[in-house]
Amino acid sequence: MTMRRAVCILCLLPLGMSVIAQSPKLSIVGSDTMAVLLTDWSREFQRANPDVLFEIQGTGSAAAPPALAEGTVNFGAMSRAMSAKEISDFQRRTGFPPRGIQVGSDDIAIIVHPRNPLRKVSRETLDGIFSASQRCGGVRYGLQWSGVLGAAQGSPMGGVESLTIQRYSRTAVSGSYGYFKNEVLCGGDFMPQVMELPGFAAIVDAVARSPGAIAYVGAGFVDHRVRVVQILDDGAPLPGAYPGEPDYPFSRPLFLYLAIAPEQALNAMECAFLHHVTGSSGRATLKHHGFQTVGLEVAEEVARVCP
């Protein structure tokens, strides 16, 4: 009996395999920051299209361009824009430039205690506050806030000016730590005084409890107990930007890259996935993971590759 059943299953196996082989497959390679997001997107997409199979590899953004150029994947997920070298390598292999669609962004907010009068901060000031080597042009401040606040603006200090500057950061294993270190500190080192906590929630908590604190956190973790500081970029006369705004400087773009020639269009399933990602439920998932959505002009970009 069992024997016969086993034989039967063996008979069915090739049939099943042919079904798997025939069912449409979407493969995405790239950013590990986006891996969880991509998995959630694919799960939602599968609910509507149960026969679609997904293959997602979150090894790192650098893995996306070569895989795209070889034509082995449908999408290359990257949590940064392609570098000039990657673009030229891609073009040398395929003869056309890659096309990137920004589907969201990962903003890093600078937060302080609500009592802190700091409203705007420049990159140089942040470099001075956090960096040990000041590669980005910062100036080392004293122990207290008075130096920073005096340099920033002259609004009422609320007693914060005489407090010690308490800097909070994620631990070195975090991707945001690496981003902040490379982007805000120009690759320099964090000061030994910077305190490292194991999660953004813990950092927001710590900042909410100490008036002298300053920290960087993923914008999705900010709540009413702390205040977000505006960023003055490169001394520009702009009023400054908040996380989520289009010109916010500390933002990692989240890209889906495509390998299609200028006149080519995507196939139906790829288009369906792109529409899902940029649609309302895809945007909700993005928000849920603490990322920022992009403006609605992304629909136009999608329309250009999916006529």
Partner 1 sequence: MFARDRRYLTDSLFGLLIRSTSLVVGLLILGMFTQMLLVVWPMFAAPSVSEQVFVAGMEPGTAAVPESGGGENPGEFADRPVTIDLPRKAVQLVLVPGDSVIAVETRPQLPATTPVRRQRLSVLEGAGALSFAAIDVAERYLLLTFKSGIFRLMSIRDDGHLESAYAGTLPAHRSVRPVPGGQSWVLVTEDALVQVHLVFLAAEASVATLRSMPVSDGIAHASTVSPDRRVLVATRSGEIRLWQLDMRKLTALDGLRGGARSVDWLSPVLFEVIYSDGSTRYFELASRLAEMSVNRLFFPVQFEGYSEPGYYWQPSATSDGFEPKTSLIPLLLGTLKAALVGLVLAVPVALGAAIFVGYYLSSRRREQVKPFIEVIASFPTVVIAGLAALWLAPRLIESLPEIVGGALALPILGGVALLMAKHLPTSVTRRGEVKVLPLHFLPGLVIVILVGAALGHWVEQWLFEGSLVTWLPEQGIAVQQLNSLLVGFILGFAILPTVFSLAEEAIYEVPRVGAAGSIALGATPWRSFQDVVLPIAAPGIISAVMLGFGRGIGETMIFLLLSGNAPGTDGSLFSGIRSLSATLAIELPEAAVGGTHFRTLFLGALILFALTFVINTLGHLIRNRILTKHRVSR
Nearer to partner 1, 100 or 220 (CB): 100
List of residues 6+ apart from 87 with CB closer than 8 A: 97, 98
* 134 lines the binding site for partner 1 (CB under 8 A): yes
Q: Which of 58, 104, 117, 188 binds partner 1 (CB under 8 A)?
A: 188
Out of 30, 65, 138, 249, name the contact with partner 1 by CB under 8 A. 138
Closest approach of Cβ 205 to partner 1, in Å? 8
C-alpha span between 294 and 58 (Å, rounded): 22
From the CB of 75, what's the least distance to partner 1, in Å?
Answer: 19
Write down the least CB distance from residue 149 to partner 1, Å: 13
Q: Whose Cβ is closer to partner 1: residue 49's or residue 83's?
A: 83
186 binds partner 1 (CB under 8 A): yes
- The single residue listed with the structure tokens 């009413």 is 224
Among 29, 129, 213, 231, binds partner 1 (CB under 8 A): 213
Structure tokens that stand for 138 in this block:
């910062």
CB of 133 to partner 1, least distance (A): 4
Which residues contact partner 1 by CB under 8 A? 81, 83-84, 87-88, 91, 97, 124, 132-140, 143-144, 159, 162-164, 166, 171-173, 175, 177-178, 181-182, 186-190, 192-198, 205-206, 209-210, 212-213, 234
